[in-house]
Structure 1
Amino acid sequence: MVSDSSKGGGVKSDETLCALLEEIRESDGIRLTELANNMSLAKSSVHNHLSTMRSHGFVVKRNGEYHLGLEFFKYGQYTRNAQEIYSAAFPVLDDIAAETGETTWLMTHENGRLMYLDGRDPNNEININILIGSWEHMHANSGGKVILAHLPKGEVDEIIEHHGLPKMTDKTITDRKTLKKELKQIREQGYALNLGEGLREMHAVAVPLISQDTVEGALAVAGPTYRVSRERCEGELFERLRAAADDIGLSLIY
């Protein structure tokens, strides 16, 4: 539902358009009448928005249902390719995944959330493409925590205030004081662990990708607990990630 007044001083029509797109995405195909009812909007108004988006390729109609169009893919590709860490890290992802035998992720952050930019799974245990481009809370992810550890304290406070510390599993850190204590340790040791905090039975280790004293993203290796123990995370996997991060850091500079 779209409220009568937009939040944060935004333009109401833009807020409506964004809400419609999100509803279409979540529905994975929806008819006009259902979309209007879900949004508590007039059918004619929704139809006008859809007509405009269809003319620009952002929405398509198939079998009477509206879906997001491929025009978004063009913008998504442009946005990812514009990330300097993507260009710098892309060549090493295959190598890390092949050498470790585990899923390797490249992540970045924006507006207090973590996004998977790219990934490799040498075991084909998960569908990488489903996760690429998705958002995660930073406090329950090794990549997110290692990024938080290298952000200014004021920015970390703002992120926690805005996004909270929701519980994902029984091991998720949900206390601000506990999280800040761990972030201090992460800064000192150079890596972050995720020991079942985001998903049960999954472990991960991540290192920061830093360019000119600014954290641009994170590189992580993740896998099931029976293969990826804490000891392996803090030993072999960390060392491999640290070497890769050093190479990527040089690429970002030169």
Structure 2
Amino acid sequence: MTLTPDGRSGRTIRSVQIAFNIIETLQERDRIGVTELADELGHSKSTVHSHLQTLEERKIIVRDGDGYRLSLRILDMAADVRDQVGNYDVIQDEVEALAAETGEIAQFGLEEHGQVSYLYKATGERAVVTASQVGMQQPMYSTSLGKTILAYLPPERTEEIVRNTEFEQITSQTITGPEELYDELEEISERGYGIDDEENIEGLRCVAAPVRNEETILGAVSITGPSSRFTDDRIHDELPEYVTRAANVIELNTKFS
């Protein structure tokens, strides 16, 4: 019996876990051989080889020289996942427009497994380089996207996520406990936008606005930039207007689609 990241318990199958560990390692390493993969994962070569053969037969991976890599079928699967999100084209257009208008990084995220998952990212002409990328998951409590989503989720879902969160001091500014987080969620719901004040990466600040429909929150849209440009005045005046405007356009298109 294991506990999932969002607090749900259930049985897990060891062979499936091994298969996904192989896939995640191939994602990180691009290409890797059987012996190296077995050593890295702590399994026998025969076990790893059997899983590789199965994944290759299912066209999830391909043999590449003396190693293996992920196949292009992953791209097809990713496209299907993306298309399952309502109004993806509108989200893409608005995030791109937000990045072009501000010159910064613009992103759209939604909640999965108690974390914020990045659905789309666009880079403006003045944007700084960050590690976030589409498909990546990050903590809810240390990101403007995550905290904004938490503030507008149904209370029982927010409580479930917070209850099962292991708080880590990522920077000196990071929220480190439920009480502090709930205080900030209350502020976000009152003012209508969330802030990451160098809580996830030192030197970077973010502002996010919720994207809602009549029943729940769909996700959030944000802009990210260096603290030298994201001053206190801008972060509480000018910048929230940008993300709120983008969120409203996505909401309207969702409502009338």
Global fold match (TM > 0.5): yes
Secondary structure of the residue aligned to 2:77 is helix
Opposite residue 159 of structure 1, the aligned amino acid is I
Q: Which residue of 2 aligns with 1:26?
A: 28
Opposite residue 241 of structure 1, the aligned amino acid is V
User: d(CA) in 1 for partners of 2:67 and 2:165?
Assistant: 33
Partner of residue 44 from structure 2, selected from 42, 48, 65 = 42
Deviates more, 1:132-141 or 1:88-97: 88-97
Count of matched residue pairs: 250
User: d(CA) in 2 for partners of 1:35 and 1:163?
Assistant: 31
Instruction: Calculate percent identity across the aligned residue pairs.
Output: 30
User: d(CA) in 2 for partners of 1:167 and 1:121?
Assistant: 28
Partner of residue 123 from structure 1, selected from 116, 122, 125 = 125
Q: Which residue of 1 aligns with 2:164?
A: 162
1:184 aligns with 2:186: yes
1:81 aligns with 2:83: yes
Q: Which residue of 1 aligns with 2:102?
A: 100
Say if 1:242 and 1:124 are closer, same or farther in 2 by CA, change over 3 A. closer
Say if 1:247 and 1:139 are closer, same or farther in 2 by CA, change over 3 A. same
User: d(CA) in 1 for partners of 2:91 and 2:61?
Assistant: 32
Task: Provide structure 2 residue ranges, at least 5 long, that are not aligned to the other structure.
Answer: 4-9
Task: Provide structure 1 residue ranges, at least 5 long, that are not aligned to the other structure.
Answer: none
Deviates more, 1:34-43 or 1:137-146: 34-43
Deviates more, 1:157-166 or 1:210-219: 157-166
Q: CA deviation at 1:128?
A: 7.4
User: d(CA) in 2 for partners of 1:109 and 1:180?
Assistant: 17
Deviates more, 1:55-64 or 1:119-128: 119-128
Q: CA deviation at 1:55?
A: 2.4
User: d(CA) in 2 for partners of 1:200 and 1:220?
Assistant: 17
Query: In the TM superposition, what are the counterparts of 1:1-254 in structure 2 within 5 Å?
Result: 8-123=10-125, 125-126=127-128, 131-254=133-256
Q: CA deviation at 1:213?
A: 2.9
Deviates more, 1:114-123 or 1:11-20: 11-20
Q: CA deviation at 1:181?
A: 0.5
CA RMSD of aligned residues (A): 2.1
TM-score normalised per structure 1? 0.90
Structure number with the higher helix fraction is 1
Say if 1:125 and 1:244 are closer, same or farther in 2 by CA, change over 3 A. closer
Opposite residue 240 of structure 2, the aligned amino acid is F
